[in-house]
């Protein structure tokens, strides 16, 4: 009897466990399997997530960025065109010879009718200039005008259809720390190639560099976006696709990028471009009537200056703009338009931003006190 009870208990337990197992299994199979997402929608979502302000700005600006190829004809004297060689070897040699120097750089379209902006050091001395577009089209270009001081040159092509362009007047002042994009075309090496893109931030504004080969790099935009000979002359744009400068200068012993690049600010670019389109050159024939020299430590002590800086006025031409403004000998010019003046070179470079007829504010030290003067620049072409 006891054995029969035990057998019945075991059978009941086995049946109970079997039922539980079936219940668990049925519960597991009742959960529907996860449905895979369509591959097309997943790809679209990933693609959209990769799009950002920078990629959109690049996409909008790229069609306007061009490659510029330049041929410059250079005349030089034949070293063997000398009476000594004529006497011993006979014949009359041609004394002047000509060779062709090729160069390349970048530029960008600034109007639908074919005006193109680039650097003076790229195309300013070119005799034969060819512009290649990302779509493979190329056109001969005329040099409208050039300005070595600002390192800007303006070209013109004659397209059959209106061109995409970047509006110089749409930009705002650059903000230190904002994203910026340097675009260029790599020497036109590739047919129908898209421009190259380097990205960085605006590191600083208002940077002054030492003059180089007659070029005055004043109030430049500094960026860590790579700027080199390939994208020199191309646009520096912000994340909205607006032009904030023109790529132009790098600081490097080897000529490559070391994280310090510079661009001409768009405010200066606009004024230079307007003058180049109108006259083909920038009129810097201003006249002040001042004669001065650098301040020496001895003069600074004698005049009670707080620092050895500024321009010491030695003479003022009677009837000149400086005379009309009230300048006197022994005045020390310490600022122009609110910008501190370090020396004569700095003073001349500051005036290079202005034209005859412009009215400027000067701060001078006279008898130990600061005096404010205003002078309208005259013209040396009078």
Active site residues: 121, 151, 232
Place of tokens 């230190």: 176
Buried-state track 128-167, b at ≥16 Cβ within 10 A, e below 16: ebbbbbbeeebbebebbbbbbbbbbbbbbbeeeeebebbe
Residue 95 DSSP label: S
Q: How many Cβ atoms are within 10 Å of 59's Cβ, its own excluded?
A: 12
Spatial CA neighbour of 180 closest among 244, 246, 238: 238
Tokens of 322: 């400086």
Q: In angstroms, rounded to a whole number, what is the distance separating the alpha carbons of residues 62 and 134?
A: 8
First-last CA distance in the chain: 138
332-336 and 339-340 strand pairing: antiparallel
Query: For the CA atoms of 375, 380, 381, 382, what is the dihedral angle to 10 degrees?
Result: 60
If you ran DSSP here, which 8-state letter would residue 210 be given? -
Q: How many CA atoms lie within 13 A of 296 on its CB side?
A: 4
For 156, residues 6+ apart whose C-beta sits below 8 A from its C-beta are: 114, 115, 116, 141, 142, 144
């Amino acid at each position: 009897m006891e054995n029969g009870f035990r057998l019945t208990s075991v059978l009941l337990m086995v049946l109970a466990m079997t039922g539980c197992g079936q219940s668990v299994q049925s519960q597991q199979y009742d959960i529907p399997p996860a449905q895979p997402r369509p591959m097309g929608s997943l790809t679209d979502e990933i693609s959209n997530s990769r799009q950002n302000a920078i990629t959109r700005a690049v996409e909008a600006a790229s069609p306007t960025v061009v490659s510029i190829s330049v041929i410059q004809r250079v005349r030089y004297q034949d070293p063997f065109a000398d009476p000594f060689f004529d006497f011993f070897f006979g014949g009359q040699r041609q004394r002047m010879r000509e060779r062709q120097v090729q160069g390349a750089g970048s530029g960008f379209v600034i109007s639908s009718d074919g005006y193109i902006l680039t650097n003076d050091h790229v195309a300013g001395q070119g005799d034969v200039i060819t512009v290649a577009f990302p779509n493979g089209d190329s056109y001969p270009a005329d040099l409208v005008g050039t300005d070595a001081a600002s390192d800007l040159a303006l070209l013109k092509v004659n397209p059959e259809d209106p061109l995409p362009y970047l509006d110089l007047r749409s930009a705002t002042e650059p903000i230190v720390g904002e994203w910026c994009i340097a675009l260029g075309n790599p020497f036109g090496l590739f047919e129908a190639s898209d421009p190259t893109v380097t990205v960085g931030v605006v590191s600083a504004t208002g940077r002054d560099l030492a003059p180089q080969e007659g070029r005055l790099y004043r109030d430049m935009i500094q960026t860590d976006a790579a700027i080199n000979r390939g994208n020199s002359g191309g646009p520096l744009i912000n994340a909205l696709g607006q032009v904030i400068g023109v790529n132009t200068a790098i600081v490097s012993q080897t000529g490559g990028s070391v994280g310090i690049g510079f661009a001409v600010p768009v405010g200066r670019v606009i004024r230079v471009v307007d003058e180049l389109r109108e006259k083909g050159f920038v009129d810097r024939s201003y006249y002040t009537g001042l004669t001065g020299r650098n301040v020496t430590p001895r003069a600074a002590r004698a005049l009670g200056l707080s620092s050895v800086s500024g321009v010491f006025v030695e003479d003022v031409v009677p009837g000149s703009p400086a005379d009309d403004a009230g300048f006197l000998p022994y005045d020390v010019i310490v600022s122009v338009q609110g910008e501190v003046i370090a020396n004569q070179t700095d003073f001349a470079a500051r005036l290079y931003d202005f034209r005859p007829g412009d009215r400027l504010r000067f701060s001078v030290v006279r008898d130990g006190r600061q005096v404010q003067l205003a002078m309208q620049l005259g013209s040396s072409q009078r």
